[in-house]
Amino acid sequence: MTNDVTNPEAHSEANPETNPETNPEAQVEKMFEYGYRKSNYGPDELVTDAHGNPISVVDAMLSAEEAAKAETSTPHLCYYSPRIPGNTGSAIRLCAVTGTILHLVEPLGFNLRDTKLRRAGLDYHDMAHVVLHPNFENLVESMPDSRIIAFTAHATKLYTEVEYRPTDILLFGPEPGNIPDPMDIMAGPHVAEQVRLPMRPSLRSLNLTNCASIAIYEAWRQLQFQGGK
């Protein structure tokens, strides 16, 4: 007979406090069993430094001034008032792997310390590609020499018909919902181009970060994938 004390699996099944099937807290704990991320990190411990030590998410981010001076191999990406933390978490990772700077314009529909951002597996180096702006005017004023290219279903020009520059800002509005799209932002005088992604007319839309990924990689392709391998 197997001794439950020396058999971890049997002990877990016998102990309802550690059995994920009977204890919701144990089930949540099991969800976080990947990488270095731990479920007992506090709300200000979203990202970790190079040594795995938790740090404040704000400490890892770029300032608007630093972003404006940075030399990039891809256009900048901007999410205006994003509402779904998982989309922003995926965009942060997208920008980290492509060397893109992500601008998030408030108001956000979530707290940057949301646990769903944590589940995207973000770390210090990912957040070093992110800038937070209190409003859209702050973005425009901080990057006066950049073209703003708005991605919107109302456009007639396709996204492939633009010759992208590293100084461009690719602008995406909020995820669809019960808040009207901010056309004063997506079609304002600060916008140099409006473009769209083609899709079948019977379907509503693509996921926000799927759209951003298509746009960033097309721009990066045009720029010869500089900085990549």
Per-residue pLDDT tens digits for 146-200 = 999 999 988 999 999 999 999 999 999 998 765 556 888 999 999 999 999 998 8
70 shares a domain with 47: no
Q: Are residues 20 and 85 in the same domain?
A: no
Say if residue 81 is in the same domain as residue 180: yes
| Same domain assignment for residues 118 and 138 | yes
Does 121 map to a domain? yes
CATH number at residue 99: 3.40.1280.10
**What tens digit of pLDDT does each residue of 76-128 get?**
999 999 988 889 989 999 999 999 999 999 999 888 766 667 666 677 778 88
Number of domains in the chain: 2
Residues 26 and 84 in one domain: no
* Domain extent at residue 147: 58-222
Q: Are residues 18 and 72 part of one domain?
A: no
Residues in the annotated binding site: 173, 197, 205
> Which pLDDT score, from 0 to 100, does residue 170 have?
98
User: Average pLDDT for residues 57-64, to the nearest whole number?
Assistant: 86
Q: Please give the annotated binding residues for S-adenosyl-L-methionine, written as ranges.
A: 173, 197, 205
Strands (E), 4-111: 47-48, 54-55, 76-80, 102-105
Considering the domain architecture, whether residues 23 and 134 belong to the same structural domain is answered as: no
Task: Enter the pTM of the model.
Answer: 0.77
Which candidate, 132, 93, 110, places its Cα nearest to that of 213?
Answer: 93
User: In the Cβ-directed half-sphere of 50, how many Cα atoms lie within 13 Å?
Assistant: 1
Q: Is 36 among the domain residues?
A: yes
Q: What is the DSSP letter of 183?
A: H
In a domain, 227, yes or no: no
Can you tell me the distance from the alpha carbon of 142 to that of 181, in angstroms, rounded to the nearest whole number? 24
Give yes or no: residues 206 and 120 share one domain: yes
Is position 144 within any domain? Answer: yes
Do 159 and 206 belong together in one domain?
Answer: yes
Rounded to a whole number of angstroms, the distance between the first and last alpha carbons of the chain is 56
Residue 83, domain member (yes or no): yes
Asked whether residue 168 is assigned to any structural domain, the reply reads yes
Confidence band (pLDDT; 50, 70, 90) for 4? Answer: very low
| Residues 23 and 135 reside in one and the same domain | no
| Secondary structure class of 226 (helix, strand, coil) | coil
Q: Residue 151 in 3-state DSSP?
A: strand
Question: Contact 75/51 with Cβ under 8 angstroms?
Answer: no
24 within a domain of the structure (yes/no): yes
Strand pairing report for 102-105 and 130-133: parallel
Q: Are both 79 and 127 inside the same structural domain?
A: yes
Q: Please tell me whether residues 132 and 25 are part of one structural domain.
A: no
